[in-house]
Structure 1
Amino acid sequence: MKNYTLFAILLLVSLPKAFSQHSPEERLQELNINLPEVKQPVANFVKWRQVGNLLFLSGEGSEEKGTLGKDLTVKEGYNAARGTGIKILSTLKAATGDLGRIKQFVKVHGMVNSLPDFYEQPQVINGFSDLMVEVFGDKGKHARAAVGHATLPFNIAVEIEVIVELEED
């Protein structure tokens, strides 16, 4: 009996992680997240640019408007960053055709429309970062900047830029 138990433990430990993890699309379904349609840029730029295996996304803004510390709470900012993350996932899906092609998130630059005495930009941008880890696991972890700005275009609360590495073709 002990041999069977040891065999079962060794088998479970040796199984590839891929069998125990869900694809990003499956995770989105489990989280009840529907990706919105990707909107065209409002100015003279592109939504993404691929260089080698790196994919650079232009800044994506939140639907929420206002200034953190004045019009919006940290929790509302967190939700704005999470919503921005959902829009970014749509762009990533459009750019790659399959979110499973993302090898890892490399760098995130989070900008928060905030008052000069508002210091909780990292907690706001956690809304984005937490979502990426929920969807991609460790591949969603990234280097990051979370900085305050006196204003953002169209009075949006949050803007986020992303760089991801794609799997080799």
Structure 2
Amino acid sequence: MAVLGFVYLPDGVRAALDHFAQRAPVAPDRIAASRSYPDHEPKLAFDKRSNTWWGPGVSQSGQGEWIEADFSEPTRLPDVIITPGVSAKADKIGESALPHHVTATITGRDGKVTTRRLTLDQGAGGQRRPFRVGEVTKVRFTVESSHAASADKQVALAEIEFFGPSNANRS
């Protein structure tokens, strides 16, 4: 039992430090997507403005469409905020399908790939989700299902914001 404690102790310490650490925004170095609607390219989901958006340009739920963030240096990501739709404003909520279930495919520094399923609410504004992944080099968000999907709407993401430990934590 003591051996297991020593094996998992670094992960536990890191989790505790992440939990209490101040957060700072983390920007990806490269952004890609499965496809994009004209004038709504994937970089708009990471521009820190909630009135621009990425959309794949396909109607219905957008199932299987993805957007991906790459990091040049392995990066710890304890939190993510996702703003579904074309805007954070409530009066814009009906203009697009809203991602409901999203699979996050996470590539670590060692090349190991893990997945997480995120469930987003049918509402306006940013939705913070604990992410608690460390030393990642790539995160791909794949739409599995959407709220309010229809033949005359496409799925949209106004913003994806990653947060990591602040450099202020290292003083």
Q: TM-score range by the shorter chain?
A: 0.3 to 0.5
Bigger strand share: 2
Which is greater in Rg?
1
Query: How does the TM-score come out when normalised to structure 2?
Result: 0.37
Q: Greater helix share, 1 or 2?
A: 1
Using the size of structure 1 for normalisation, the TM-score is 0.38
